């Protein structure tokens, strides 16, 4: 058993770490791997990192007993505030029906009908799932309200559990605006944006056939930027489209999905600071082709992994599963996948103090029931997260 506890006080020494993934890049090792390592945590931050033999001993000790430690996962794309689920839709897909973005409207109806208390309870349960599986930083999108009142409620509820709230009023065109997409965009960039922006940090749009055109998407993103929000894009999920190019042009922090990318899209991403966030849980759940992470990484694109936890196309909160899928199906090494699920997610949120274990960073740490990070892909489906610290406190 691990001796000691991060609950013992405001400072502790986590020592006898068999393999420590710092994500402080070293030559030939983007994960900045240290062995026989130790970390001192004080007041919610990492104070010291180094060899276990050289560690000070004037604070309470937590003995990792040779286990691996990684940064807390940074899940930069989730939709955790919603009413009801879509299990029947999933079963139908598994029976051969194709995936379409229109299923979102089913969740919209259930979400509009749900009370704040019902939504808050479901959100708390999902956040608990995320924490138990090692996720310490979460982005949460709106997008299941699609009217001013409900979108504002979703943003407010999300802001109770994370600072990384994204306004996704432009998820799909709601039923009451069928055939009037431009009119709905005007609502999104007008009254809806005014109401939601005080609760959000980001704005997003689903730039995809069946959702919003590149022209409509530009209108949404530019209005959000004018309101002081950072830019994110859902793009290139269901086919080749303009989402990735628009994201790069507007300086978006991330474009998410990236299943279908042209050579020009890849080159543009490689020459930008826009992160390509890959969401393999979606391909697992919809039986679409997986994105080619190897192609992106070899071209020099910064890649993140995220869960896209949502009731329709990826109802999983497991970042370890994303790592296993990325390694098995997308051409990533384990080191690349772990980096993408931690430091890559931080880049996608433009956060410098998470996804990394170095002095000054938030003390968001995950102790694995395994000697190396390789086991996250080597032992898929096994609950390997033993202990999680968020801001230095044991979860």
Q: Is 237 annotated as a binding residue?
A: yes
Q: How far apart are CA 94 and CA 71, in angstroms?
A: 35
Are 19 and 65 a contacting pair, CB within 8 Å?
Answer: no
Q: Is 347 annotated as a binding residue?
A: no
Are 70 and 21 a contacting pair, CB within 8 Å?
Answer: yes
Beta strands in the chain (DSSP E): 11-21, 33-42, 45-51, 61-63, 68-71, 73-75, 135-141, 164-170, 202-207, 230-235, 254-257, 275-278, 303-305, 365-368, 385-390, 393-394
Q: Is 217 annotated as a binding residue?
A: no
Q: Is 86 annotated as a binding residue?
A: yes
Q: How far apart are CA 357 and CA 371, in angstroms?
A: 18
Q: Is 375 annotated as a binding residue?
A: no
**Residue 351's CB: how many other CB atoms inside 10 A?**
21
Q: Is 144 annotated as a binding residue?
A: yes
Q: Is the dihedral of CA 148, 151, 154, 156 positive or negative?
A: negative
Q: Is 115 annotated as a binding residue?
A: no
Q: What is the largest CA-CA distance in the chain?
A: 68
In order of 23, 39, 241, 380, the CA distances from 19 in angstroms are 12, 12, 42, 19
In order of 358, 366, 370, the CA distances from 39 in angstroms are 9, 12, 18
Coil vs helix vs strand at 122: helix
Are 359 and 40 a contacting pair, CB within 8 Å?
Answer: no
Q: Is 199 annotated as a binding residue?
A: no
Q: Is 313 annotated as a binding residue?
A: yes
Per the annotation, binding residues for 4-imidazolone-5-propanoate are 86, 144, 171, 237, 313
Per the annotation, binding residues are 77, 79, 86, 144, 171, 234, 237, 308, 310, 312-313
Per the annotation, binding residues for Zn(2+) are 77, 79, 234, 308
Per the annotation, binding residues for Fe(3+) are 77, 79, 234, 308
Per the annotation, binding residues for N-formimidoyl-L-glutamate are 144, 310, 312
């Amino acid at each position: 058993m691990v001796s000691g506890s991060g609950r013992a006080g405001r400072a502790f020494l986590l020592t006898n770490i068999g393999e420590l993934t710092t994500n402080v890049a070293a030559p030939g090792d983007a994960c900045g791997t240290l062995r026989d390592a130790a970390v001192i945590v004080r007041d919610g931050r990492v104070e010291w990192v180094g060899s276990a033999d050289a560690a000070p001993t004037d604070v309470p000790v937590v003995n990792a007993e040779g286990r691996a430690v990684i940064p807390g996962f940074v899940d930069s794309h989730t939709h955790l505030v919603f009413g009801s689920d879509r299990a029947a839709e999933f079963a139908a897909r598994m029976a051969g029906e194709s995936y379409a973005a229109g299923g979102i409207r089913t969740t919209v109806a259930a979400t509009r009908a749900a009370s704040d208390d019902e939504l808050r309870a479901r959100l708390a349960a999902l956040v608990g799932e995320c924490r138990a599986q090692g996720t310490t930083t979460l982005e949460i999108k709106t997008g299941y309200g699609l009217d001013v009142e409900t979108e504002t409620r979703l943003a407010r509820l999300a802001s109770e559990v994370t600072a990384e709230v994204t306004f996704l009023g432009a998820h799909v065109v709601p039923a009451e605006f069928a055939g009037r997409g431009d009119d709905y965009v005007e609502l999104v960039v007008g009254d809806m944006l005014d109401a939601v922006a005080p609760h959000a940090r980001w704005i997003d749009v689903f730039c995809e056939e069946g959702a919003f055109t590149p022209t409509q998407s530009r209108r949404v993103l530019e209005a959000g930027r004018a309101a002081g929000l950072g830019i994110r894009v859902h793009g290139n999920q269901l086919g080749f489209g303009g989402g990735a190019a628009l994201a790069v042009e507007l300086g978006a922090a991330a474009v998410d999905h990236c299943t279908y990318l042209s050579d020009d899209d890849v080159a543009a991403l490689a020459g930008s600071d826009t992160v390509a966030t890959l969401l393999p849980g979606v391909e697992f759940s919809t039986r679409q082709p997986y994105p080619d992470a190897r192609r992106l990484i070899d071209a020099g694109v910064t890649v993140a992994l995220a869960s896209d936890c949502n009731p329709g196309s990826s109802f999983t909160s497991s970042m370890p599963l994303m790592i296993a899928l990325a390694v098995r199906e997308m051409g990533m090494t384990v080191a690349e996948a772990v980096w993408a699920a931690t430091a890559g997610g931080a880049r996608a949120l433009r956060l410098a103090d998470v996804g990394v274990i170095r002095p000054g960073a938030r003390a968001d740490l995950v102790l694995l029931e395994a000697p190396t990070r390789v086991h996250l892909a080597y032992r898929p489906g096994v609950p390997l997260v033993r202990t999680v610290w968020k801001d230095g406190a044991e979860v």
